[in-house]
Structure 1
Amino acid sequence: MGTKRIIITGASTGIGKAISQYFLDRGHQLVINSANEERLLNTARELGTNRVQTVVGNIAEREVGQRLVDTAVNTFGGVDVLINNAGVFAPKPFLEVTEDDLEHYMAINLKGTYFTSQATIRQMLAQGTGGAIINNGTVLVDHAIAGFPCSAPLVSKGAIHTLTRHLAAEFGKDNIRVNTIAPGIIRSPLQSKIGVEDADSLAGLHLLNRIGEAEEVAEAAYYLAFSGFVTGETLNLSGGHSIGHAI
């Protein structure tokens, strides 16, 4: 497969950190990002190699995406894979959602993914060798839960699912493959951030009767990064959450 130049956003903890470790262990070069400088630098130290570069910044700001691409080009000579992992998510009843809430999710989740992909695709086209973009969605886009209202983040995630298909169509001729991973409940710091103290208590949402692990998302990202004939797809990494229920 050869060494690939990988950009990973939201890489300082949880799923993004697991993806970074997975690709690094297999010999690839990384540019990792987080808005939290301390956590990002700590992660870079843990990864402990000159094959990792860091870019601190809020992905909602368009120039951060361009800095990620510039860093990959200046350090490693180009970009082969972009993993748009950065995102925010929290439940809130529809009637309580404010304009600021909605703008927050659209800025980080959608604009961050959109403009980082734009900067990356420009570079991939200049290289002329194709590439892969992997977006972070959620199984809840197509499988709502009545007791877990989260319309504000979900409209931004739904937009990412749509963006995936249209970018796959627009740039398929250039061998740029674009796919989405839609996780179910994954063990990560996100659970405690949204008030779920025991993530395993949600195991019953999945037919496999367990929650997923961050490393399993990393495995899926690796597959999509190197699978040459998959594009425009949404991979539901959800233990059967999207197709049925246990009773």
Structure 2
Amino acid sequence: MQDHEGGGAVSLAGIFGLSGKVAAVTGAGSGIGLAAAQALAAAGAEVVVLDRAPVASEILASIRGDKPAAALVMDVADEAQVEAAFAEIVARCGGIDILVNNAGLALRDAAVNLSLEAWDKVVAVNMTGVFLCARAAARHMIAAGKGGAIINTASIMGLSGGGLYPNISYQTTKGAIVNMTRALAVEWAPHNIRVNAIAPTYVRTPFIAPLLAQPELMQRIEAMTPLRRIAEPHEVSPAILFLAGPGAAMVTGHTLPVDGGFLAQ
């Protein structure tokens, strides 16, 4: 197989290889974030995992790559913590090439009952936190002059009105991530920083434990999904790996659903 200019042969390393790259993953203690960290490490990246709580040693050990994964405690909604964490990543690793903006929060309630406090908590993590981390990473990427890749975790709920249960703050913030991704992609393109997002369906993680405990609701969700099931974390991480790697060199400003066909209907 030839590349688009008829040059050298395309290889898996040329599409997915991340050797020599430094990747930071927020919300990496479990679920999609952990699966993303494992995939990035397997592709050769040096991975730094970021979470509000210390990441357990056995979880950190599961992120196997050429270099041992490192872990930092960081609240994405705290500007000072974000700036300090990214400065430490650069000091430890010599730079940052990839950010997976994955930390998220859901406080599910009817809009008429949702308190302003609950609304603000979700906005602080899902929207402001994504911005703070993207801004911090981009500042270091721009200073280094080597470009980079940022992958935000949106949701199918950011591309649809939901309707299965009320979740207005989550849906609103995930929709904001979709357009934030476009805007940052355009602004940072001159610096060769690509900004994309994934929009997963329901994924079997601790994040949706309250939903998994409702068999009738899960049956409805599966019935609405053409593939007739929810996703597993390892089925989402390859999309992140692709968007982070050289094979996506011409992909920016895009939100990629990983949804089993949910949005196709």
Quick check: TM above 0.5? yes
Report the aligned-residue RMSD. Answer: 1.7
1:175-231 per-position Cα deviation (integer Å, ceiling 9, x unaligned):
100011011111111121x34225863322211111111112110000000110000
Change (3 A) 1:93 1:237: same
Aligned to 1:89: 106
Distance 1:17 1:134 in 2: 14
Aligned to 2:139: 122
Report the AA paired with residue 229 of structure 2: R
Distance 2:81 2:70 in 1: 14
Report the AA paired with residue 7 of structure 1: A
Matched, 1:166 2:183: yes
Residue aligned with 1:55, SS? strand
1:224-245 per-position Cα deviation (integer Å, ceiling 9, x unaligned):
001100000110111110121x
Please point out which of 225, 231, 238 is paired with 1:212. Answer: 231
Aligned to 2:203: 186
Please point out which of 46, 71, 80 is paired with 2:88. Answer: 71
Please point out which of 152, 157, 162 is paired with 2:174. Answer: 157
Aligned to 1:5: 22
Q: Sequence identity of aligned pairs in percent?
A: 30
Matched, 1:233 2:250: no
TM-fit CA distance, 1:68 = 2.9
Aligned to 1:196: 212
Distance 1:13 1:204 in 2: 27
Contact 1:80 1:124 in 2 (8 A): yes
Report the AA paired with residue 150 of structure 2: I
**More off after superposition, 206-215 vs 116-125:** 206-215
TM-score (structure 1 length as normaliser)? 0.92
Residue aligned with 2:106, SS? coil
Aligned to 1:47: 63
Contact 2:198 2:257 in 1 (8 A): yes
1:114-151 per-position Cα deviation (integer Å, ceiling 9, x unaligned):
01111110000011011000001011122223231111
Aligned to 1:62: 79
Unaligned runs of 5+ in 2: 1-16
Residue aligned with 1:242, SS? helix
Distance 1:48 1:172 in 2: 32
Matched, 1:36 2:53: yes
TM-score (structure 2 length as normaliser)? 0.86
Change (3 A) 1:40 1:118: farther
Aligned to 1:242: 263
